[in-house]
A and B are shown apart, each in its own frame.
Chain A
Amino acid sequence: MSSDAPGNSNDLLLRAQSVKKHFPVEQSLIDRLLGGESEVVHAVDGVDLTLREEETVGVVGESGCGKSTLGRTLARLYEPTDGVIEIDGDDVTEAGGNRLQELRKDVQVIFQDPLSSLNPRKTVGEIVARPLEAHDIATGDQKDERVDELFREVGLDPATRDRYPHEFSGGQRQRVGIARALAVEPKLVIADEPVSALDVSVQAQIINLMKRLQQEYGLSYVFIAHDLSVVKHVSDRVAVMYLGKVVEQGPTDTIFRNPQHPYTKSLLHAIPSVESAGGRRETLLQGNPPSPIDPPSGCPFHTRCPEYIGDTCENEVPELEAVGDADGHRAACYWLDRTTEERAEQDPYPSSGLVSGTDDG
């Protein structure tokens, strides 16, 4: 599906094709003896994703939709069940040994909870120096200098390098996590909810820092978050996930101005805003996402869809199809084929929604 890759494929950094990650569900001995069918959690169920150099793609969705699993699979922290992951045009799906070691240098991860992802028994200086040692990048004085430089780069005082993670505030710890990721000069950084554990005032600091580093180092980000306003702010393109599948993707502005998939629309309506006139949000989405162990047949979203149109939704799995005029805007929904009149009849979205211009895009 190379034709879907936006722009020149030469500067394509990451390409994932129908990546799947299934986790087996543990069975009790009795179930196994009785020959019960083994079940799997369909955490990531066929995701295509591309990322160009110096680009940020945001991955959004409710908890349990598989966005973190996708991030970890792309970083090869999980072995993909199926699919192909290419980095710089090089298939790394099954890379091992030296190739994997090299991949670990190119792809770094920033985790959500900086406290549990930093070793509590090592000083932050040691934590940031560790990748330099592991990849033989620097030793001795050179290493110390590099660590000091990284500290300054992320806005930490190098004099604090002998302290332990617990002595820092949440925002500072996340800075340590960023310095560690930056140490090996990666090409791709997978940021898994990097700011959701932080306070708003600190969140803004970290977002600004990540954007500055992107410009300075030419980084590419896969930015995983549940907060749509944050994703809107940092991403060039957005992929919306539901139950292990991407249901809509495209340029950020297009997704927010002219969303096509009913799930994206419902999500956008649920964004709380400090700019709204006050009053309650429309709660278009009722209930919870279904279990990824036994996902619904057909369109995974049909059980909660406010626009649910009929048997097709229940029986056939919609594919991502190009929609609208914007480059790379694709959505997976049967509803999109309907005529404008039919849409108007079924349109459950109040026009006074939070996202202006939903219908005139």
Chain B
Amino acid sequence: MSESLLEVENLHTTFGTERGDVHAVDGISFRVEEGEVFGIVGESGSGKSVTALSIMGLVDAPGRVDADAIRYRGENLLDASENEMQSIRGGEIAMIFQDPMSSLNPVMTVGEQIAEVARHHGDYGESTDFLSEMKRKYVTGTATGSRSWQRAVELLDTVGIPDPEQRAQEYPHQLSGGMKQRVMIAQALAAEPSVIVADEPTTALDVTIEAQILDELLSLRDEFGVSVVLITHDLAVVRETCDRVAVMYAGELMETAPTRTLFEHPSHPYTNGLLKSIPKVNDDREWLDSIEGNVPDLIDKPAGCPFRDRCDSAFELCQKPLVSYPGEGVDHEVRCHLYNDAVEVDGDEAVAVADDATEIIEQRSDAGRPVGGESL
């Protein structure tokens, strides 16, 4: 069995608060293959951004990250020292944040910001000690003839910014939203990472600009073979960019599948509800099918399916912790007890539950294998 590029096993991220523990991410497992675009889709508060931060080792107190393993090329990142993490972060796994204005430094030119990343992660024969960095930052700036600056200009060109020599010397506020997001991508590429974690990279942008940026991300994948973990709330973006996708709700994965399978055979009631609640250009429905109710409180979350209070198909097994069941076709996993072999289903309602249902649940949870694992 070939090894996955990035594997997350049973990740829990909890934030201690005065009211109790917030289980932002509650036991999720997935893997990302080389050169793959893997989507994590969910509503706000579902824990998708926290998942990204956990992988990057960027969760601070009062947050706690517990996982069986977060493996990058077979190496468990949880055991890595802070120094090792620093070279992995950016160098191997880079991140693109949602709001480029607040993640770019407003008092440094964009070229400077990209050159800095390139210098620190690559071998450009330029000193990166504290004094020389301070001198560059406050006195001279990076010399435009230096190799790191040249690299920055080259990267701006790669991400499709016109007139890159000029643009490299501009400050973030001089660029438009789409342009800033391109700068973020250039910065992420500066250290030649193998994985880019993109957290809502196009949410702040117009559809026309969004199309350009997503196109850019995909061409970079084709050109450099980087894997992309795309975090988004927009199912349409998932449909056109991702190879595989995981649907997240209240800190847990509901369904993992190849993109096509997910849209053609959505199996989890939550996925179904989401797809039905989206207005489409070609539909003539007078009323949209909405999912009633709100996302549950993640403080002291009760065991069982977090979606059960909003689910039309909820039945007695939904009190039990979720386990994965095989869905339609290859690599499709559904975490919904409707798919338990012992449950007889009519339409989308459970009509009878055989005695061995609990046993099956226990077996599947004992197996303890990662969601999306290759053994089906």
Q: Which residues of A contact B (CB under 8 A)?
A: 62-63, 169-172, 199-205, 207-208, 211, 226-230, 232-233, 256, 266-268, 270-276, 278-283, 285-286, 288, 354-356
The number of inter-chain residue pairs (CB within 8 angstroms) is: 131
A contact residues around B295 at 8 Å (CB):
169
Are B233 and A200 in touch, CB under 8 angstroms? Answer: yes
CA distance A333 to B210 in the complex (A): 26
Which residues of chain B from 29 to 62 have a CB within 8 Å of any chain A CB?
43-44
Partner of A200, one of B43, B179, B208, B260: B43
B275 contacts partner chain A, Cβ-Cβ < 8 Å: yes
Which residues of chain B from 274 to 305 have a CB within 8 Å of any chain A CB?
274-275, 277-283, 285-292, 294-295
Are B211 and A283 in touch, CB under 8 angstroms? Answer: yes
Chain B 254-271 per-residue mask, 1 if CB under 8 angstroms from chain A, else 0: 000001100100000000
Are A278 and B290 in touch, CB under 8 angstroms? Answer: no
Are B212 and A286 in touch, CB under 8 angstroms? Answer: yes
Query: What residue of chain B has the Cβ atom nearest to residue A266's Cβ?
Result: B208
Partner of B277, one of A203, A275, A288: A203
Query: What residue of chain B has the Cβ atom nearest to residue A60's Cβ?
Result: B207
CA distance A227 to B278 in the complex (A): 11
Are A208 and B292 in touch, CB under 8 angstroms? Answer: no
Are B176 and A229 in touch, CB under 8 angstroms? Answer: no
Are A228 and B290 in touch, CB under 8 angstroms? Answer: no
B178 contacts partner chain A, Cβ-Cβ < 8 Å: yes
B374 contacts partner chain A, Cβ-Cβ < 8 Å: no
CA distance A169 to B44 in the complex (A): 10
Are B294 and A230 in touch, CB under 8 angstroms? Answer: no
Are B281 and A200 in touch, CB under 8 angstroms? Answer: no
6 shortest interchain CB distances as A-B pairs: A272-B236, A204-B290, A204-B277, A233-B279, A199-B43, A204-B288
A contact residues around B294 at 8 Å (CB):
169, 171-172, 202
Are A270 and B233 in touch, CB under 8 angstroms? Answer: no
A contact residues around B279 at 8 Å (CB):
204, 207, 229-230, 232-233
B239 contacts partner chain A, Cβ-Cβ < 8 Å: yes
Are B206 and A62 in touch, CB under 8 angstroms? Answer: yes
Are A63 and B206 in touch, CB under 8 angstroms? Answer: yes
Are B290 and A205 in touch, CB under 8 angstroms? Answer: yes
A contact residues around B179 at 8 Å (CB):
288
Are B239 and A273 in touch, CB under 8 angstroms? Answer: yes
A contact residues around B282 at 8 Å (CB):
275, 355-356
B75 contacts partner chain A, Cβ-Cβ < 8 Å: no
Residue from B208, B211, B233, B234 having most chain A Cβ neighbours under 10 A: B208
Are A355 and B209 in touch, CB under 8 angstroms? Answer: no
Least CB distance from A354 to B in Å reads 7
Known: A200-B277, A278-B260. A267 touches B208 (CB 8 A): yes
Query: What residue of chain A has the Cβ atom nearest to residue B289's Cβ?
Result: A204
Are A229 and B211 in touch, CB under 8 angstroms? Answer: no
Least CB distance from B273 to A in Å reads 7
A contact residues around B5 at 8 Å (CB):
none
Partner of A201, one of B178, B286, B291: B291
CA distance A150 to B44 in the complex (A): 27
Are A208 and B233 in touch, CB under 8 angstroms? Answer: no
A contact residues around B108 at 8 Å (CB):
none
Are A272 and B259 in touch, CB under 8 angstroms? Answer: no
Are B235 and A274 in touch, CB under 8 angstroms? Answer: yes
B101 contacts partner chain A, Cβ-Cβ < 8 Å: no
Are B233 and A274 in touch, CB under 8 angstroms? Answer: no
Partner of A274, one of B207, B211, B239: B239
CA distance A63 to B286 in the complex (A): 28
B contact residues around A205 at 8 Å (CB):
290-292
CA distance A312 to B48 in the complex (A): 50
Partner of B240, one of A266, A279, A288: A279
